[in-house]
């Protein structure tokens, strides 16, 4: 079972639909209903985006609820806000950046299974105003002209983050999510 953690994004139904279209069973769990006891019962986890600004809220509830993810026993893909949560769990700094609400070119700087069958410069939909620094133990995978850390992967655990929204990036996004699910 693929678990999609919903942080309140209007795009979460697109993640669920894409996962199902790729032939996988999935469930949606609201972020504040997730418990560490549930961790490990999933085949993989996808963190959604959110309208919340991490620059404006206390991070403690995210650390408390999702610290189990740092163990890396279950593959996790963080999308936008989920990417940022993955970052702060591992020591990244969050910052307010430029507003980006369109499709832009994302430049892949390090080939990874997540980007298999995608061009070195790939169009992806963006919808955010915050970014993160690269956390320790993560590899920088992609950047855009607006945000330096568009994608990252843990050096030895199955943990990925993407600042963009593959769930609304047409075939490029479907390929990326399919690649993630193959890693599971």
**Domains in the chain, please, with CATH?**
2-182 (3.40.50.880)
- 118, 142 Cβ separation under 8 angstroms: no
With CA atoms as reference, report the closest residue to 19 among 183, 161, 180: 180
- Residue 41's pLDDT is what? 79
Catalytic machinery residues? 80, 165, 167
Radius of gyration of the chain (CA): 15
- Residue 29's pLDDT is what? 95
- Residue 35's pLDDT is what? 87
With CA atoms as reference, report the closest residue to 107 among 171, 151, 173: 151
With CA atoms as reference, report the closest residue to 78 among 91, 89, 65: 89
pLDDT tens, residue order, the chain (184 aa): 899 999 999 999 999 999 999 999 999 999 999 988 878 778 899 999 999 999 999 999 999 999 999 999 999 999 999 999 999 999 999 999 999 999 999 999 999 999 999 999 999 999 999 999 999 999 999 999 999 999 999 999 999 999 999 999 999 999 999 999 998 8
- Residue 177's pLDDT is what? 98
The conformation of residue 165, written as its DSSP 8-state character, comes to B
- Residue 22's pLDDT is what? 97
- Residue 42's pLDDT is what? 84
- Lookup result for tokens 């963080």: 78
- Residue 184's pLDDT is what? 82
């Amino acid at each position: 079972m693929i678990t999609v953690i919903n942080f309140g994004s209007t795009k979460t139904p697109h993640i669920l639909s894409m996962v199902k279209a790729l032939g996988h069973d999935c469930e949606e769990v609201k972020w504040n209903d997730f418990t560490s006891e549930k961790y490990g019962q999933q085949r993989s986890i996808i963190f959604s985006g959110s309208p919340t600004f991490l620059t404006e809220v206390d991070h403690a509830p995210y650390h408390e609820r999702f610290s189990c993810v740092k163990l890396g026993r279950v593959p996790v893909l963080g999308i936008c806000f989920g990417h940022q949560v993955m970052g702060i769990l591992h020591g990244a700094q969050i910052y307010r950046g430029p507003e980006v609400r369109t499709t832009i070119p994302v430049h892949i700087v390090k080939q990874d299974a997540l980007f298999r069958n995608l061009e070195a410069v790939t169009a992806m939909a963006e919808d955010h105003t915050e970014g993160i620094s690269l956390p320790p133990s993560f590899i920088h995978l992609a950047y855009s002209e607006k945000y330096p850390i568009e994608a990252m992967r843990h050096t030895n655990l199955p943990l990925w983050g993407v600042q963009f929204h593959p769930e609304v990036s047409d075939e490029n996004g479907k390929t990326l999510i399919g690649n993630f699910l193959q890693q599971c």
